[in-house]
Amino acid sequence: SNENIQFSWGKKRAKGGAKMDTQFYGSFTFDNVKYSLYDCVYLFKNGESEPYIGKIVKIWQQNEAKKVKILWFFTPDEIRNFLRGPVAENEIFLASGDGTGLADINPLESIAGKCTVVCISKDERNRQPTPKEQTVADYIFYRFFDVGNCTLSEQVPEKIAGLEVNVLLNPKDEQVICYPDQDVQGMDQKVGAGLVAPLPQSAVKMDEIPVAPLPQSAAKMEDEIPVAAVPLSQSVAISLPPSVKEVDKAQVAAVPLPLAVEEDVPKPTQKVFKRTENLTTKNMPSKKLKLSQDLTTQSMAPVPDVKVRSVPSAQQTTRQADRSKWFKPQPWHGKLAQADKEGRLVYIQNLDIRFGASEIVELIREALQLSCTAKPINHPTYDDPNNGKAYVVFNSRNIADEAVMKINSGLVVGGRPLYCSKGLLKVPKPASGALVGHLTISNQKMNPRQREEQKKAVSTSHCSQPNTIEYDLALDWMLVREKQAMKFSILHKRHAGERKSFAAKMEK
């Protein structure tokens, strides 16, 4: 539940509202992460694996309710229909114009974390980002999607959502941003005994680890070189106790320690941050930890009393804006479910596995004089490559029924008799828990800090080192897998052989 999540207001701004009962703010700290106006954040929607990305453009409290107004970013998938030209892997698009989809008011509690979005537009109002900023950013954008007329444009509008566009582009000063450490070998040695606990089973996606692991790496730095297995997604702004900040005016960020940290950890981090300052002045060694900074910070959140808290389950407890209805082209899943409901979905088997969607559509057109959409659906790991499977969606239930009857009655393609049936195959919902074979250590004696260390160690990716128990176990898996691959290979070859000899017999 939300009751125990840390929260405190930051900088106050104006008061407003009809009854003067609304207080606007410039920043707040939630779950031990500091958020300021114009920060980019993640918000989760129930049931979706990918979070929404947005920019905080207003923060206030009215009576008991804390709210934020979020200006949305769109991912390429969301505006697939309107996309033109090349799209970078981590490119997103800022909403502009007027209408549904520009911005929404959300409860503050729906925020799931922070991320870095860098604007690479060449417009003069945009401070050009450094190459470093660009590489480490979670996302980049330079295009705007007008929600009113559904058009994409590189041109920077004067205002968005009533705000001057300047405040929405890159902040004036360079941000030093965290990014995942690439050399995690050090972590494995720590894991020495090979006893590492992965995430607890409560379906937390990797992205949600965000803030928690960081202090652990910070804490670790006092005993060894700053090897940081840092969370792999968002950047996190780290806060320093005020004393340290005075020491280094230059770029030092401030974020209170994230959750589940022991109360004595704050002391070590003081030392630690001093050391990283030294590091930043030289050229960073290859094992790096960069501190994210937020120079608009003015009020320092004091290092809070951190409560140990169970793993956040953001997806259950927060309400989100519902964006599913906005000009989103239906992904295949939706199309298939819809078609199935209307009886237009047909499952065809025994195709040549090399057939792509276009070949299947053409086949149906030539053989049945019917139009359709098709999707080949073989699973590369498990399905028999001798038998190509596809979903085909027709325009009406009657047509689908007719097609099924005809095909089953005797359509042979390239020597293969096809067979088909109506309806979606029953598959289990994609698992959201840990993978079979990802083990946990049930140990209550570990203090929260150790638990966090272990969590973080496992949440990173690495080649398993031979001096660990983990390595032996991993080898077990590789052995089992080789055997499985052989079994499949033998079976599929046999199938192919059976079909060939059958065809040969028929020729006679």
Nearer to another protein, 247 or 486 (CB): 486
CB of 184 to another protein, least distance (A): 9
> Candidates 6-14, 180-188, 249-257, 314-322 — which segment interacts with another protein by CB under 8 A?
180-188
d(CA 162, CA 157): 11
Q: Contact with another protein (CB under 8 A): which of 8, 153, 296, 387? A: 387
Question: Which residue's CB is nearer to another protein, number 148 or number 437?
Answer: 437
Choose the binding region for another protein from 8-16, 151-159, 204-212, 300-308 (rule: CB under 8 A): 204-212
107: contact with another protein by CB under 8 A: no
Please report, as residue ranges, which positions from 439 to 478 form the binding site for another protein (by CB under 8 A): 439-443, 445, 458-464, 469-471, 473-478
| Candidate list 5, 120, 203, 399; residue touching another protein; CB under 8 A | 203
Member of 84, 426, 444, 504 binding another protein (CB under 8 A): 426
Q: Which of 125, 422, 449, 499 binds another protein (CB under 8 A)?
A: 499
Site for another protein in 11-50 (CB under 8 A): 49-50
Residues sharing a CB contact under 8 Å with residue 313, sequence separation 6 or more, in sequence order: 202, 203, 204
Q: What is the DSSP annotation of 336-380? A: HHHHHHTT-EEEEEEE-TT--HHHHHHHHHHHH----EEEE---T
217: contact with another protein by CB under 8 A: no
- 200, 304, 376, 448: which one binds another protein (CB under 8 A): 376
State phi, psi for 133 to the nearest 5 degrees.
-55, -40
Of 24-32, 59-67, 359-367, 393-401, the window that binds another protein (rule: CB under 8 A) is 359-367
Which of 217, 220, 413, 453 is close enough to bind another protein by CB under 8 A? 413
Least Cα distance to 54 among 31, 78, 38, 77 occurs for: 38
What x/- string results for residues 114 through 153 when contact with another protein is judged by CB under 8 A? ------------------------x---------------
Based on its alpha-carbon atoms, the radius of gyration of the chain, rounded to whole angstroms, reads 27
Of the candidates 400, 470, 468, 408, the residue with the CA atom closest to the CA atom of residue 440: 470
Q: Is 366 in the site for another protein (CB under 8 A)?
A: yes
Contact 51, 36 (CB under 8 A): no
* b/e 245-271 (16+ beta carbons within 10 angstroms → b): beebeebbbbbbbbbbbbeebbebbee
Q: Which residues pair with 375 in a beta bridge?
A: 391
Phi, psi of 488 (to 5 degrees): -60, -45
Q: Which residues contact 359 (CB under 8 A, 6 or more apart)?
A: none
Q: Is 293 one of the binding residues for another protein (CB under 8 A)?
A: no
Q: Which of 11, 125, 309, 416 binds another protein (CB under 8 A)?
A: 416
Single residue of 112, 204, 218, 252 touching another protein by CB under 8 A: 204
Q: Is 234 exposed, middle or buried (0-12, 13-18, 19+ CB in 10 A)?
A: buried
Kindly compute the dihedral angle of the four CA atoms of residues 443, 445, 448, 450, in this order, to the nearest 10 degrees.
-80
Residue 379 main-chain phi, psi, to 5 deg: -90, 120
Cβ 197 to another protein shortest distance, Å: 9
**H/E segment holding residue 451:** helix 448-459
In this chain, which of 17, 48, 484, 493 binds another protein, going by CB under 8 A?
484
- Among 111, 265, 363, 400, indicate the residue that binds another protein (CB under 8 A): 363
With CB under 8 A, what is the number of residues at the site for another protein? 107
Query: Which residue blocks in 191-331 are alpha helix, DSSP H?
Result: 213-220, 242-247, 266-281, 314-317
Min. distance of Cβ 6 from another protein in angstroms?
25
Out of 193, 278, 305, 325, name the contact with another protein by CB under 8 A. Answer: 193
C-alpha triplet 253, 256, 261: angle, nearest 5°: 130
Task: Work out which of 342, 359, 401, 402 binds another protein, going by CB under 8 A.
Answer: 359
